[in-house]
């Protein structure tokens, strides 16, 4: 790989001070290092955040929110008993992603910044507007069966590959960041950007900003009894989603009092549609309602290539995820998380 500088700052302030154009922050390295090996990414400097103190804690805040340090490992978060009780769907999404080895290495902050798995982005020899602005998009007329059906543009049809992010989007997560200009918070809905004319701009982070924590509001834990993540994939483990859905419901008197639905692997960011959630409020859960919600969630979906099948699959997955959420969160994490074969033991 191309030679690069490597620094291991002792403090967050040092890390931010070390940043310069062309530098990259290093978390678990499970995505960045792969892309450096293939030559798709060639940062001039790696700023290793993994030894920074204090960023690997899962905290219950005084206001009831849960704060997850950016350096918490995916596996540690998923297996944290308190966290999994409060946010079982987030834990299920985490455990449906990658492999055990990768989850042990990957950090939750890094997960928010993982790059698309579009083959043409990963391949340094293919034109890609996201990797190389203005180069063109090889995916548009290439092998694109898995790419976006929502929010794509002529410049880019990539999808965000994360499972975790879909669940976070549904849970109204907030991203805490710090950078050269100080600290700020970004709501999850605003964090990932759609490609438009500038697919190279993937997130709302400013240059040099570091994710320090992800916060889940106390209110979102109110969905714990009825929340599921469902993921279609070409093999049972260690496969990215064909489509996925995070669904969460809250009931009062048999009627839906709160509803969340986010779709994964359909766009460059987790896909949430407020109208799809709102229409379920006050209703009795049934198949027709969930179909309608799925319809609305997929409003405007269009194939970006040979991937029209994803529209139907996303629709069915969304409706099923809602139905599974209505049935109730399983008492135990399914043996195959987020799978239709996961088992149906209910709380």
Partner 1 sequence: MPDTLPFATRFGSNAGQPVSRRDGVAKVTGTATFAADNHPEGMLHAVYVPATIARGRVTHLDVAAARAHPGVVEVITPANRPLLEGDPEAKHFMFAFRFEALQDDTVRYANQPIALVLAETLEAATEGARLLDPRYEAESPRVGLDGNTPYTVEVGAFGRRGQTVHGDVAAGHAAAVQSLDVTYETPAQYHNAMETHAVVAQWQGDQVTLDMPNQAIVMSRGAYGYYFGIPAENVLIRSPYLGGGFGSKAIPNGPTVLAILAARMTGRPVKLMLRRDQMFGPVGHRGATRQRLRIGIDAEGRMTVLDHESLATTSTFDDFVESAANASQGLYAAGALRSAHSGVRVDTGTPGPMRAPGEASGSAALECAMDEMAERAGLDPLEFRLRNYAETEPGTGLPYSSKALRECYLRGAERFGWAKRPLQPRQMRDEDGMLVGWGMGTALFHAPMFQAQARAVLRPDGTGLVETAAADMGQGAWTALAQIAADSLGLPLDKVEFRSGSSDLPDGGVAGGSGHTATAGGALHAAGRDAIDRLAQIATADPASPLFGAGNKGVTARDGRLFVTDDDSRSESYAEIIARAGGSEVIGTGSAARPPEQAAKHAMYSHGAVFAEVKVDPDLYQMRVTRLVGAFAAGRIINPKLAESQLMGGMIWGISFALHEEARFDARTGRIMNADFAGYHIPVNADVSGLEVITVHEDDPHVNALGIKGVGEIGIVGTVGAIGNAIWHATGHRIRRFPIRIEDLLRAERG
The answer to whether 193 contacts partner 1 (rule: CB under 8 A) is: no
Dihedral Cα 70, 74, 18, 185, nearest 10 deg: -30
Judged by CB, which is closer to partner 1: 9, or 308?
308
- Min. distance of Cβ 62 from partner 1 in angstroms? 41
Interface of this chain with partner 1, residues 60 to 89, rule: CB under 8 A: none
Residue 125 burial (10 A CB sphere; 0-12, 13-18, 19+):
exposed
- Min. distance of Cβ 307 from partner 1 in angstroms? 9
Give Cα separations from 157 to 43, 146, 197 (angstroms): 24, 10, 11
Judged by CB, which is closer to partner 1: 174, or 247?
247
Task: Name 216's Cβ contacts closer than 8 Å, sequence gap at least 6.
Answer: 65, 66, 67, 68, 86, 87, 90, 168, 171, 172, 173, 174
Radius of gyration, alpha carbons of the chain: 19
- Min. distance of Cβ 264 from partner 1 in angstroms? 14
Name the 3-class secondary structure at 332: coil
Q: Which stretch binds partner 1 (CB under 8 A): 8-16, 220-228, 296-304, 309-317?
A: 309-317
The answer to whether 331 contacts partner 1 (rule: CB under 8 A) is: no
- Min. distance of Cβ 60 from partner 1 in angstroms? 33
- Min. distance of Cβ 133 from partner 1 in angstroms? 20
Q: Could you give the CA distance from residue 287 to residue 293 in angstroms, rounded to a whole number?
A: 10
Q: Which stretch binds partner 1 (CB under 8 A): 81-89, 129-137, 162-170, 313-321?
A: 313-321
Q: Could you give the CA distance from residue 70 to residue 50 in angstroms, rounded to a whole number?
A: 9
Spell out where the chain has E strands: 5-7, 23-26, 45-48, 58-60, 66-69, 174-179, 182-187, 210-216, 227-232, 243-252, 255-264, 271-272
Interface of this chain with partner 1, residues 145 to 184, rule: CB under 8 A: 145
Interface of this chain with partner 1, residues 109 to 128, rule: CB under 8 A: 117, 119-120, 123, 125-126
The answer to whether 336 contacts partner 1 (rule: CB under 8 A) is: yes
Contact with partner 1 (CB under 8 A) among 29, 132, 313, 327: 313
Judged by CB, which is closer to partner 1: 27, or 97?
97
Give Cα separations from 205 to 97, 112, 141, 154 (angstroms): 24, 11, 31, 23
Interface of this chain with partner 1, residues 232 to 291, rule: CB under 8 A: 232-240, 242
Judged by CB, which is closer to partner 1: 30, or 220?
30
Q: Would you say 179 and 15 are in contact if contact means Cβ atoms under 8 Å apart?
A: no
Q: Could you give the CA distance from residue 8 to residue 173 in angstroms, rounded to a whole number?
A: 29
- Min. distance of Cβ 100 from partner 1 in angstroms? 10
- Min. distance of Cβ 236 from partner 1 in angstroms? 4
Q: Copy the structure tokens of residue 206.
A: 């400013």
- Min. distance of Cβ 124 from partner 1 in angstroms? 9
- What x-and-dash track marks residues 126-145 binding partner 1 by CB under 8 A? x-----------x--xxx-x
- Min. distance of Cβ 237 from partner 1 in angstroms? 4
Q: Would you say 221 and 66 are in contact if contact means Cβ atoms under 8 Å apart?
A: yes
Judged by CB, which is closer to partner 1: 3, or 300?
3
Contact with partner 1 (CB under 8 A) among 61, 274, 312, 347: 312
Which spans of this chain sit near partner 1 (rule: CB under 8 A)? 1-3, 38-39, 99, 117, 119-120, 123, 125-126, 138, 141-143, 145, 232-240, 242, 309, 312-313, 316-317, 320, 336, 339-341, 344
């Amino acid at each position: 790989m191309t030679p690069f500088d490597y620094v291991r700052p002792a403090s967050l302030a040092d890390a931010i001070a070390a940043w310069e154009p062309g530098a990259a922050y290093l978390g678990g390295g499970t995505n960045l290092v792969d892309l450096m090996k293939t030559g798709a990414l060639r940062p001039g400097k790696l700023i290793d955040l993994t030894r920074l103190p204090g960023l690997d804690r899962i905290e219950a805040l005084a206001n009831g929110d849960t704060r997850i340090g950016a350096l918490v490992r995916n596996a540690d978060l998923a297996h944290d008993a308190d966290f999994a009780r409060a946010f079982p769907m987030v834990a299920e999404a985490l455990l449906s992603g990658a492999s055990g080895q990768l989850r042990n290495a990957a950090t939750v902050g890094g997960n928010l910044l993982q790059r698309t798995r579009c083959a043409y982005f990963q391949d340094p020899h293919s034109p890609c507007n996201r990797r190389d602005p203005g180069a063109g998009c090889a995916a548009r007329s290439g092998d694109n069966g898995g790419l976006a059906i929502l929010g794509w543009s002529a410049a880019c049809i990539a999808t965000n590959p994360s499972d975790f992010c879909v669940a976070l989007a549904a849970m109204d997560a907030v991203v805490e960041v710090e950078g050269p200009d100080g600290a700020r918070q970004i709501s999850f809905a605003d964090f990932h950007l759609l490609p438009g004319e500038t697919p190279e701009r993937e997130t709302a982070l400013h240059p040099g900003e570091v994710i320090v924590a992800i916060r889940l509001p106390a209110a979102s834990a109110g969905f714990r009894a009825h929340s599921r993540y469902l993921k279609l994939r070409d093999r049972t483990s260690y496969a990215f989603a064909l489509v996925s859905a995070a669904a969460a419901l809250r009931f009062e008197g048999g009627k839906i009092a709160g509803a969340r639905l986010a779709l994964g692997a359909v766009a460059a960011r987790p896909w949430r549609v407020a109208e799809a959630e709102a229409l379920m409020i006050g209703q009795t859960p049934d198949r027709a309602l969930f179909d309608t919600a799925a319809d609305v969630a997929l409003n405007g979906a269009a194939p970006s290539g040979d991937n029209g099948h994803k529209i139907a699959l996303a629709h069915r997955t969304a409706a099923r995820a809602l139905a599974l959420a209505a049935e109730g969160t399983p008492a135990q994490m399914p043996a195959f998380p987020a799978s239709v074969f996961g088992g149906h033991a209910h709380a």
